[in-house]
Amino acid sequence: MKIGIVGCAGRMGRMLIQEVLATPGAELAGGVEPSGPAVGQDLGTLVGAKAVRIAVGSDIKALFAASDAVIDFTLPSATKMHAELAASMGKALVIGTTGLTDEVRAVIATASKKSVIVQAPNMSVGVNVLLALTEKLAAALGPDYDIDILEMHHRHKVDAPSGTALGLGEAAAKGRKVALKDVAKHTRDGQVGARPVGEIGFATLRGGDVVGDHTVIFAANGERIEITHKASSREIFAKGAVRAALWAAGKKPGLYSMRDVLGLG
């Protein structure tokens, strides 16, 4: 399967190139950057590997034309354009971009009517198991258990809470059969009063070079359950994204998640 990488010179982009090159059944179709010193470099030497005789380009349409699937870990504004391109050209798109707005999500949903799109707040296999467990625990434990989601990332991360933390909140809300927007609490400061029943809280930490830590806390009178995932390398996200791209082959147009890719329902 021919796989293209947008934002190929970034940290995730380089990891994705390495993963495609190392994965049987995957072929590197190309990579693009909008501008910068990486444009024109060989994709292999860009990541410290042997030359692959494919240069970093800047023509996004040419990349989609050469690819069966494109992997996107960029910015919401770029992801919107990529979804529209995937739909118009009939290409699969794997989206790991976080901080998506409602507008971008709507564009992705529309594009999925014509293209296979896999979109997830986190491409890690372990995190998606955590998402499934969070939903099941929220359904089983009921409103006597307060739910809080704690996440920590490196100092350079620009969105908060993380897309994964919000995904965990959605999973918990789904387990309780409520809408997250109706029960989410993103900040607590000052005299906030007693905690309402059913509230799902978020706490965000930023510092150092932390790849990504997420903990879901279920707290009740007399006991507390905590489930945690800690990422020590971005390689897990790249592995999941390439796995999703390969899985997309032959699928009908639609909007899928990593839980679909992993068979978690």
pLDDT band at residue 217 using 50, 70 and 90 as cut-offs: very high
Please list, in sequence order, all residues whose beta carbon lies within 8 angstroms of the beta carbon of residue 226, skipping any fewer than 6 positions away.
215, 216, 217, 218
Average pLDDT over residues 211-220: 96
The pairing of beta strand 146-153 with beta strand 212-220: antiparallel
The pLDDT value recorded for residue 265 is: 66
Exposure letters 68-101 (e unless 16+ CB within 10 A, then b):
bbbbbbbbbebbbebbebbbeeebbbbbbbbbbe
Q: Which of 80, 82, 153, 229 is catalytic?
A: 153
Q: What is the pLDDT of residues 67-94, one digit of tens each?
A: 999 999 999 999 999 999 999 999 999 9
Q: Which of 157, 174, 186, 251 is catalytic?
A: 157
Q: Is 153 a catalytic residue?
A: yes
Domains of the chain, earliest start first? 2-119+234-261 (3.40.50.720), 125-231 (3.30.360.10)
Q: Is the whole-model pTM more than 0.95?
A: no
